[in-house]
Copies of this chain bind each other. A is one copy, B any other.
Amino acid sequence: MTLVLNARDVEQSTDMHRLIEVIEQGLREEALDRAVVPPRLNLPTQDGFFRVMPAVMNESGLMGYKVFHGSLKAGVRYLIAIYDQKEGGRLLALMDAHYLTAARTGATTGIATKLLVNQGSQTVAVIGSGLEARTNLQAICAVCPVEQVAVFSPNRERRERFVQRMGTELGVEAVAVDSPERCVQGAEIVIVATNTSSQPDPIAYCGDWMQAGVLVNAIGSTSTFLREIDPETLARADRIIVDSKIQVEGESGDIIAALAEDKYDREKVVELKEVLVGRAEGRTGPKQIVLFKSVGTAVQDVMAGFAVYEEALEQGRGQDIGEFLDLKTF
C-alpha cells in the first residue's frame, strides 16, 4: 500500500523526539558512507524553481526525495516520497512536507544542540515567531532542561502570541522582548529563525551581541537571497558546525556574504555528522562561542518522512491509495 498524507496528517503524526532519533541515525549512516546524497538539483521555472533532493539510505534500507517548488511570489509546495528497498523497492508514502520541513530543521537543531551546548543550559532566546521558530524551540526543549525563553519578533502581536502558545505547550517561562539585542542578552542558547527578506534591513542577529559560551543556531538563510546573520557572527564564532559544507557555501546568503568579506574561516568549520560520530570536535571549552548553521539536506527529509509514515500507519491516518506501482520482473 501507498499512504497519502496531507498537511494535517503529517503534523499530527510528527513526534519531535522520534524525529531527533531517526535523523541522528541518518547522519550516522551518512558519516559511515552508507548514504548516497547527490548535490540537490535546483531547476529554474518560468517564475521560480523546481528543486529535487533525493537520498538513498543503505543502512536503513530506505530511499526517497523531497520536491520543493514554486516561487516566493506565487507560493511554494513541498512533497516528500518515501520508499523502502525491499522487493525491488515499494513506495510507502507521499506526503505534504511544508510542516515536516520545519520540523526536521528543528530536529536537526536539537541534535546539534545536544552535542554543542554547555551542559545544563536553561535559557533560550528566539529571534523569529514563525513555524521554524516554533519547531526549533520544541526541539531544544526536547534535549535541554530549558526554564526561560525570551522571544523577539518585529511584530508585537505575533511575538506575544508565540510566547503564550509556546510557554503553555512547553511548560517554560516565556517572555516577549521588544529588541533583539535585549532578547539575546544572557541567553545560553540562541535560535535565529527568521524570514526577513521583505524588510529594509534583513540582518536580525549581529556578531557583536555574542557572549562567551553561547550556542547560536541559525536556520533562516537557506537561499542565496535570504539573510539573517551578519558576517561578524561567522567571524566571532570559535567553532562553526554546519549540516552540509557544500550546500551551506552554495546556498546560504549569510555564508556567501561572510565569504565575500573573508569572515568565514573554513579552518573552524566542520559538519554535524562528523561531530556526531566523533571524527571532528564540536565545542572544546565552556567559554567558546559556537555557531550551528543549517540549510537542510535530503537525508533529514527522508529519515523524517519515514518516521512520520510509521507514526501515521500506527495511528491509522492518511489515505491508502493501494500499491499503484506495478513490479516489473524480468
Contacts and interface: CB of A to CB of B under 8 A. Distances in A.
Given A45-B56, A61-B46, A4 B321 contact: yes
A83 B69 contact: yes
A200 interface: no
A319 interface: yes
Nearest to A69: B89
Q: Which 3 A-B pairs have the closest CB atoms?
A: A70-B88, A74-B88, A75-B88
Interface in A195-224: 195, 197-198
A244 interface: no
Given A54-B50, A70-B88, A77-B91, A321 B324 contact: no
22 contacts: A6-B324, A36-B44, A36-B45, A38-B43, A41-B54, A44-B58, A46-B58, A48-B88, A50-B56, A50-B63, A65-B67, A72-B330, A74-B329, A75-B88, A75-B330, A76-B88, A77-B89, A77-B325, A78-B325, A79-B325, A94-B324, A96-B324
B38 A38 contact: no
A71 interface: yes
A63 B45 contact: yes
A235 interface: no
A246 interface: no
A54 B75 CA distance: 21
Contacts of A44: 36, 56, 58
**Of listed A44, A74, A90, residue having the most chain B CB within 10 A:** A74
Nearest to A7: B326
Given A6-B326, A94-B94, A321-B321, 15 more contacts: A6-B324, A36-B44, A48-B88, A50-B83, A50-B89, A76-B327, A76-B328, A77-B88, A77-B90, A78-B328, A79-B81, A79-B325, A96-B324, A96-B325, A197-B330
A172 interface: no
